[in-house]
Chains A and B, each alone.
Chain A
Amino acid sequence: MPHYLFFILTVAAYGLSCAYYVRFLYTGREITGRIGTVLLVLGLVAHYFALLERSRGMHTVPYHDLYGSMSLFGWLLALTYLVLELYHRQRSVGAFVLPFILVFFLASQLAPPDRLAPAPAHGPSFVFHVTLSILAYAAFGLSFVLSLIFLTEDRLLRNRKFSNMVWRLPPLELLEKMSRSSVLIGLVTIAIGTFLGFIWVDRLTGQYWYYDPKYMVTLLVLFLYIAYMQLARTNSWRGARASLLCVFNFVVVILSFTVVNLYLSHSHRYF
């Protein structure tokens, strides 16, 4: 059963990667961190094939149902994290991100795939609209984790709690930078993704605009993250306050993902 094979491989690789990242956080040994990264790459590959298997089995795209889009979210979160890790040469965050990736992957496997009627039209613009939007949410998710680490570390330093972990976490300035890079990736991808969504709607219905609460929430999310990018460099918000805003923004994203999708939006069910 190749489906189970890739499932097991993905869980094993992510799980071990997480274990190595945690161990790296405690021991600080370079080799342990590197093994964590290699396992993450293996996990990404196995996860990719698991996604592929699932879509083939259902004859549709992986994000056609909630579980599929959650799995894709996990995959893109892992990918974004990997890019940031390599760019900033900082591995201490892995121990905090990997559990999220693992949870999203496992949750996506819990339920049997529900068989919905396929969406009315597909094509490159729709595919990119969905993938880029989910990538944006993954990047925002990453900035959320980074901001939480920032706030925790800041609190520990201010309260003079010099535990073992404080010495392993990334420096506060780097966490801010990583969070901003992550939000920037999110902003660019969500802007392109939303634009492509409008094009797709136009092709489908012949009109650019028909009202969907999702538009308003997405605009709000865009506005909040642009505000974060601006405020994070200003005098009074620099530091912990900006990180708090970043955490708040992601709460709005989660609301958009859950409440809006499930109860309010007509056309956005699972992303």
Chain B
Amino acid sequence: MEIVLVGLNHLTASVEVREQVSFSAEQAQRAAKELRERGILEETLVLSTCNRSEVYGVPPETSHECAAGLSSFLSEFHAVRPDVLSGVLYHHYDRAAVKHLFCVSAGLDSMMLGEAEILGQVREAYRTAHETGATGPVLNRLFQGALEVGKRVRTETELGARPMSVAAAGVKLAERIFGKMGKHSALVLGAGAISEQVVSALRDRGIANLFVMNRSRERAEELAKRYSGKVIEWGRWDAALLMPDIVVSSVSADEPILRREEIASAMGARGNRPLFLMDFGMPRNIEATAAEVYNVYLYNLDDLTEIVQQNRQARESEIPRAEGIVEEHVTKFLSWQASVELAGLVEALRTRLRTERESFLRLRLSSATHLNAAEREEIDGLMDELIEKLVIAPAVHLKTERELRRKIQNVEALRDLFLSDRGKS
């Protein structure tokens, strides 16, 4: 056993349990330190996000019951009863642990398929662990591989390409008309949660100007302040619709607040510059017939939800390609790991053969009195040569033939076979 992973995520544990077992940056460092000090793990890294808490580690060679130790450590560290954790923790070793981490960084294991934040979180967790010296050669290589997988999946597949929220889908749709947002402005009607999501997405895309309009001026000002926008007095439609290219509406009102005539006259005043309207209101805030006005593009919640559903399907169809990349890197990592372990094995074998040779010669040559010192030395040299021949050939093979390394999955068995003292009486 070389790599161990114990953790829980949104699929195995409820949000209450996840909250109890989550690590702050400081806690993650402390836990990593304690795990090493207690000798449970030699290398360790704690990955904790809102959807998962996972401990990755390399146990000492002699440890065989590491997972149990890790579980009890987690319940002790967070002061959670062990029975709370017993059903929700998963344990993975070696290949399964590597694959799990690579799937996590690819966004395949996320609640929202292909989300981008997880890669940043993995990078941050690795950076902290690396800086504090909690990781070693194995975890360093493992997490560098994970970051590479995450990057490749995001550039080579569409797993994370399309927006999964109606707010982001709306902004993406607006970009079909205006392109880059740097020279455009938006008006937000209403200051609720969805408005804020859209405002945040627009700011991310670099919108030049932002106007907020709300019945309660106080809330409008609050939102405008957070996203450096300007507040416009509620109800001044002709002035309000003159400037913006994008209008986002999510107001709770029984009647439409923007009628076709108002929009048509605003279009005249704005010289028919295209106007993109997103209506998140339920019932709708903008009269549906406004969509017929020349150069007006009107979309409601249903239209945007449909886009999100299409995007979800598109993302799901990219899963096999992302998994292909994960699999490729798992093999690559295991092959690296095998080569390191095999190199160690060859070295141990050489040392072993040399000691055996010495005791063998001492025993056999003690009675051979007819040999002089020069002859003894020659025999010594010949045996050395034989040992080198026996050891170097497989060592070179292992170094150059990746396929061979891939085939030798169980280095421990080889170690047992050649180096174990068991069976020796």
Residue B336 at the A interface, CB < 8 A?
A: no
Known contacts being A157-B177, A160-B303, A174-B179, is A238 close to B295, with CB within 8 Å? yes
22 sampled A-B residue pairs with Cβ under 8 A: A28-B158, A157-B173, A157-B297, A158-B291, A158-B297, A162-B173, A162-B306, A162-B307, A162-B310, A166-B176, A167-B176, A170-B179, A171-B176, A172-B177, A173-B274, A234-B271, A235-B268, A235-B272, A236-B294, A239-B294, A239-B295, A241-B294
Residues on A with C-beta less than 8 A from B273 are 238
Are B272's CB and A173's CB within 8 A?
no
Are A167's CB and B162's CB within 8 A?
yes
CA of A235 to CA of B272, assembled, Å:
5
CA of A166 to CA of B169, assembled, Å:
13
Residue B156 at the A interface, CB < 8 A?
A: yes
Are B156's CB and A29's CB within 8 A?
yes
The residue of chain B having its C-beta at the shortest distance from the C-beta of A174 within the complex is B179
Are A239's CB and B291's CB within 8 A?
no
The residue of chain A having its C-beta at the shortest distance from the C-beta of B184 within the complex is A173
Residue B227 at the A interface, CB < 8 A?
A: no
Are B176's CB and A235's CB within 8 A?
no
Contact of B272 among A29, A164, A170, A239 (CB under 8 A): A239
Are B176's CB and A238's CB within 8 A?
no
Are B303's CB and A172's CB within 8 A?
no
Q: How far is the CB of A31 from chain B (nearest CB, A)?
A: 9
Contact of A172 among B172, B272, B274, B307 (CB under 8 A): B274
Q: Interface on B for A, CB 8 Å cutoff? A: 156, 158, 161-162, 172-173, 175-179, 268, 271-274, 291, 294-295, 297, 299, 303, 306-307, 310, 314
A interface size (C-beta, 8 A): 24
CA of A223 to CA of B79, assembled, Å:
83
Residues on B with C-beta less than 8 A from A241 are 294
CA of A160 to CA of B407, assembled, Å:
53
Contact of B175 among A28, A171, A234, A236 (CB under 8 A): A171
Known contacts being A28-B158, A160-B299, is A239 close to B274, with CB within 8 Å? yes
Are A28's CB and B176's CB within 8 A?
no
Residue A149 at the B interface, CB < 8 A?
A: no
Known contacts being A158-B297, A162-B306, A162-B307, is A169 close to B271, with CB within 8 Å? no
- Interface contacts beyond A172-B178, A235-B268: sample of 8 additional A-B pairs, CB < 8 Å, sorted by A: A160-B299, A160-B306, A169-B176, A171-B177, A173-B178, A235-B271, A238-B272, A238-B295
Q: How far is the CB of A151 from chain B (nearest CB, A)?
A: 13
Interface residues of A in 136-182 (CB under 8 A from B): 153, 157-158, 160, 162, 164, 166-167, 169-174
Are A172's CB and B176's CB within 8 A?
yes
CA of A162 to CA of B305, assembled, Å:
12
Known contacts being A28-B158, A162-B306, is A157 close to B176, with CB within 8 Å? yes
Are A236's CB and B272's CB within 8 A?
yes
Residues on B with C-beta less than 8 A from A174 are 179
Residues on A with C-beta less than 8 A from B291 are 158
Q: Interface on A for B, CB 8 Å cutoff? A: 27-29, 153, 157-158, 160, 162, 164, 166-167, 169-174, 234-236, 238-241
Residues on A with C-beta less than 8 A from B156 are 29
CA of A138 to CA of B307, assembled, Å:
37
CA of A27 to CA of B156, assembled, Å:
9
Q: How far is the CB of B310 from chain A (nearest CB, A)?
A: 6
Are B307's CB and A173's CB within 8 A?
no
Residues on A with C-beta less than 8 A from B271 are 234-235, 238
Residues on A with C-beta less than 8 A from B295 are 238-240
Residues on A with C-beta less than 8 A from B299 are 160
The residue of chain A having its C-beta at the shortest distance from the C-beta of B267 within the complex is A235
Which residue, A160, A174, A238, A239, has most C-beta atoms of chain B within 10 A? A160
CA of A226 to CA of B339, assembled, Å:
71
The residue of chain B having its C-beta at the shortest distance from the C-beta of A233 within the complex is B271
The residue of chain B having its C-beta at the shortest distance from the C-beta of A236 within the complex is B272
Question: Which 8 residue pairs of A and B lie closest in terms of their CB atoms, listed nearest first?
Answer: A171-B179, A235-B271, A235-B272, A172-B177, A174-B179, A239-B295, A238-B272, A162-B307
Q: How far is the CB of B307 from chain A (nearest CB, A)?
A: 5
Residues on B with C-beta less than 8 A from A173 are 177-179, 274
Residues on B with C-beta less than 8 A from A169 are 176
Which residue, A153, A162, A172, has most C-beta atoms of chain B within 10 A? A162
Q: How far is the CB of B395 from chain A (nearest CB, A)?
A: 39
Which residue, A157, A167, A234, A241, has most C-beta atoms of chain B within 10 A? A167
Which residue, A27, A153, A166, A172, has most C-beta atoms of chain B within 10 A? A172
Q: How far is the CB of B273 from chain A (nearest CB, A)?
A: 7
The residue of chain B having its C-beta at the shortest distance from the C-beta of A163 within the complex is B310
The residue of chain A having its C-beta at the shortest distance from the C-beta of B172 within the complex is A167
Residues on A with C-beta less than 8 A from B306 are 160, 162
Residues on B with C-beta less than 8 A from A235 are 268, 271-272
CA of A153 to CA of B179, assembled, Å:
13
Residues on A with C-beta less than 8 A from B294 are 236, 239-241
The residue of chain A having its C-beta at the shortest distance from the C-beta of B310 within the complex is A162
Q: How far is the CB of B184 from chain A (nearest CB, A)?
A: 9
Residues on A with C-beta less than 8 A from B274 are 172-173, 238-239
Q: How far is the CB of A262 from chain B (nearest CB, A)?
A: 39
CA of A234 to CA of B303, assembled, Å:
30
The residue of chain B having its C-beta at the shortest distance from the C-beta of A237 within the complex is B272
Q: How far is the CB of B169 from chain A (nearest CB, A)?
A: 9
Residues on B with C-beta less than 8 A from A158 are 291, 297
CA of A158 to CA of B306, assembled, Å:
15
Q: How far is the CB of B308 from chain A (nearest CB, A)?
A: 10
Residues on B with C-beta less than 8 A from A153 are 176
The residue of chain B having its C-beta at the shortest distance from the C-beta of A29 within the complex is B156
Residues on A with C-beta less than 8 A from B162 are 167
CA of A241 to CA of B295, assembled, Å:
10
CA of A234 to CA of B295, assembled, Å:
13
CA of A234 to CA of B294, assembled, Å:
13
CA of A164 to CA of B315, assembled, Å:
12
Residues on B with C-beta less than 8 A from A162 are 173, 306-307, 310
Residues on A with C-beta less than 8 A from B268 are 235
CA of A34 to CA of B158, assembled, Å:
18
